[in-house]
Amino acid sequence: MLLLSLVAATAAQSQVRNAELGYTLTLPQGFTEFPEARSQKDVVDAWTEATPTSPNGAVVILVARMHGVLPREAMRQEDVPANTHVVSFKWKNFDVSGVKTQTSQAGKPVFVLVAQLPLRPEAVQLSVAGPADQQTRGQAIMEATLASLEGETNWLTSSERAGRLGTAAAWWIGIAVAAVLVLAWRKRRARSA
């Protein structure tokens, strides 16, 4: 019975692909396209709950382009507005920066979660927002969407960085050994002359 419900839940979710920005993700069950949100600057994909769980409105998922790549340095609290908190999200093997805030829209309290993803060729922001009474659910939607999101990154994993560091160290050691050998050869040559 459990297997049947897992298969049914998986079948209800849909895979989304954005060829231009090079990512795929799995939409949570019950979300449909939200083309009106694409009128916002830089929003490339948007979805909303087909049937809102909350009487206060629907949860929305947005993907916005960032027009560049992200550095490895984490976002700093002093770089965001006072009512916004810098948070970290897991994506692949990386801790990516993001923010969370509570604000109001049309007089109703809402939450906003944003994760910045270091995709190649261009970074994107994944946002999940909705009524404040859905914040815990919104966090789960963000985590599930991040877990499903695939795309090439411009960041190196820890093992890739270690490998490059090892290669660089090997080059420097090789250069140092060559320099010592050249000096030894010159000394030997000077003594024999």
CB atoms within 10 A of CB 162: 11
Closest CA to 142 of 130, 157, 156, 154: 130
Tens of pLDDT along 99-122?
999 999 989 999 999 999 999 999
CB-CB contact of 115 with 146 (8 Å): yes
Closest CA to 15 of 149, 162, 126: 149
Residue showing tokens 């027009």: 67
Query: How far apart, in whole angstroms, are the C-alpha atoms of residue 153 and residue 16?
Result: 18
CATH topology (fold) of 2-151: Protein Transport Mog1p; Chain A (3.40.1000)
Q: Please, what are the averages of pLDDT over each run of 10 residues along the chain (193 residues)?
A: 39 84 96 95 96 95 95 88 94 94 93 96 96 97 97 72 45 52 61 69
Tell me, what DSSP letter sits at residue 125? E
- pTM summary value: 0.76
Three-state DSSP class for residue 137: helix
What are the domain boundaries of the chain?
2-151, 156-193
Query: How far apart, in whole angstroms, are the C-alpha atoms of residue 65 and residue 75?
Result: 17
